[in-house]
Amino acid sequence: MSATRRGPAAAIGATAGLVYLFFYLPVFVLVLFSFNEARTGGRWTGFTTEWYARLADNDQIKSATLNSILIAVTATAIAVVLGTMLSLALDRHVFRGRRAAEQVVYLPVIAPEIVTGVALLAFFSLVLGRLNDLLGRSAADALRLGRPTVVIAHVAFCTAFVALVVRSSLRNLDPAVEEAAQDLGANPWTTFWRVTLPSIAPGVLGGALLSFTLSLDNFVITFFVAGPGATTLPIEVFGQLRRTISPEVNAISTLIFAASTLLLVGALAIQAGASKRRLRQFRQGDSPSGEAPLPDPQHSPQHTWEET
Partner 1 sequence: MTHESSDASTGERPERGSVTLQGVTKRFGKTVAVDSIDLEVKPREFISLLGPSGCGKTTTLRMVSGFEEPTSGRILISGADTTGVPPHKRRVNTVFQSYALFEHMTVAENVAFGLRVKGFDKSTTATKVAEALDLVRLAQFAQRRPAQLSGGQKQRVALARAIVNEPEVLLLDEPLSALDLKLRQAMRHELSRLHDELGLTFIFVTHDQQEAITMSDRIAVMDHGRIHQLGTPSEIYERPASRFVADFIGETNLLEVIGAGHSGGMPAVRMATGELVPLAEADNGSTVPDRKLLLAVRPQRVTVTAADQPSEPDQAAVAGQMAELLFLGDSTRATVMLADGSQVVALRYNDAGHHPFGQLRPGDPVTVGWSRDAACVIED
Partner 2 sequence: MALVTSAQRQRRRIAALLTPGLTWIALAYIVPGALIVVYSLLTPKLGGGVIWELTGDAWDEITSKGRRSDADWGTLGSAAVRALAAAAIATLPLVAGARYLRRSARGALVVATALGGLAGINHLASSYNNYTAVFARSVVWSVWATAVCIGLALPLAVFISSRRSRITKNALLVAVMIPFWTSMLVRTFAIRFVLSNTGPLNNAIESLGLDRQVFLNTRFAVLLGLVYTALPFMVLPLYAAIERSDRAQMEAARDLGAKPPQVFLDVFVPLIRPGLTVGSVMVFVLSVSQYLVPTLLGGGKTNMIANLLDLQFGEAFNWPLGAAVATLFSLITILSLYFVVGRRDGADLL
* Under rule CB under 8 A, residue 295 binds partner 2: no
* Under rule CB under 8 A, residue 286 binds partner 1: yes
36: β partners: 47
Supply the DSSP string of 207-252, one letter for each residue.
HHHHHHHHHHH--HHHHHHSTGGG--HHHHHHHHHHH---HHHHHH
* Under rule CB under 8 A, residue 260 binds partner 2: yes
Cα dihedral 68, 70, 73, 78 in deg (nearest 10) = -110
Query: Which among partner 1, partner 2, none contacts residue 53 (Cβ within 5 to 8 A by kind)?
Result: none
Tell me how far, at minimum, the Cβ of 98 lies from partner 1, in Å: 13
Q: How many residues bind partner 1 (CB under 8 A)?
A: 30
Judged by CB under 8 A, the residue of 64, 71, 86, 226 near partner 2 is: 86
Query: Which among partner 1, partner 2, none contacts residue 192 (Cβ within 5 to 8 A by kind)?
Result: none
How many Å apart are CA 145 and CA 139, to the nearest integer? 13
Furthest CA-CA distance within the chain: 79
Q: Which residue, among 158, 177, 262, has the nearest Cα to 215 in the 3D structure? A: 158
Tell me how far, at minimum, the Cβ of 306 lies from partner 2, in Å: 5
Query: Which among partner 2, partner 1, none contacts residue 273 (Cβ within 5 to 8 A by kind)?
Result: none
8-state DSSP, 307:
H
Helix (H, G, I), strand (E, B) or coil at 47: strand
Q: Which residue, among 144, 158, 150, 76, has the nearest Cα to 120 in the 3D structure? A: 150
* Under rule CB under 8 A, residue 20 binds partner 2: yes
* Under rule CB under 8 A, residue 285 binds partner 1: yes
Part in contact with partner 2 (CB under 8 A); list of ranges 57-65, 172-180, 276-284, 297-305: 297-305
Query: Which among partner 1, partner 2, none contacts residue 193 (Cβ within 5 to 8 A by kind)?
Result: none
* Under rule CB under 8 A, residue 12 binds partner 2: yes
104 to 23, 109, 163: CA distances (angstroms): 33, 10, 12
How many Å apart are CA 253 and CA 246, to the nearest integer? 11
Judged by CB under 8 A, the residue of 213, 231, 271, 275 near partner 2 is: 213
Radius of gyration of the chain (CA): 24
Closer residue to partner 2 (CB): 73 or 101 = 101
Considering only residues 120 through 139, tell me which ones interact with partner 2, judged by CB under 8 A. 120-123, 125-126, 129
Q: How many residues are listed for the chain in this entry? A: 308
Closer residue to partner 2 (CB): 35 or 157 = 157
Tell me how far, at minimum, the Cβ of 191 lies from partner 1, in Å: 8
Judged by CB under 8 A, the residue of 53, 180, 184, 265 near partner 2 is: 265
Tell me how far, at minimum, the Cβ of 292 lies from partner 2, in Å: 21
Supply the DSSP string of 119-140, one letter for each residue.
HHHHHHHHHHHHHHHHHT--ST
47: β partners: 36
Closer residue to partner 2 (CB): 42 or 288 = 42
Report helix angle 197-217 to 59-92, nearest 10. Answer: 140
How many Å apart are CA 203 and CA 211, to the nearest integer? 12
Considering only residues 166 through 205, tell me which ones interact with partner 1, judged by CB under 8 A. 174, 176-177, 179-188, 190-191, 194-195, 198-199
Judged by CB under 8 A, the residue of 48, 52, 73, 102 near partner 2 is: 102
* Sites of contact with partner 1 (CB under 8 A): 174, 176-177, 179-188, 190-191, 194-195, 198-199, 278, 281-282, 284-286, 288-291, 293
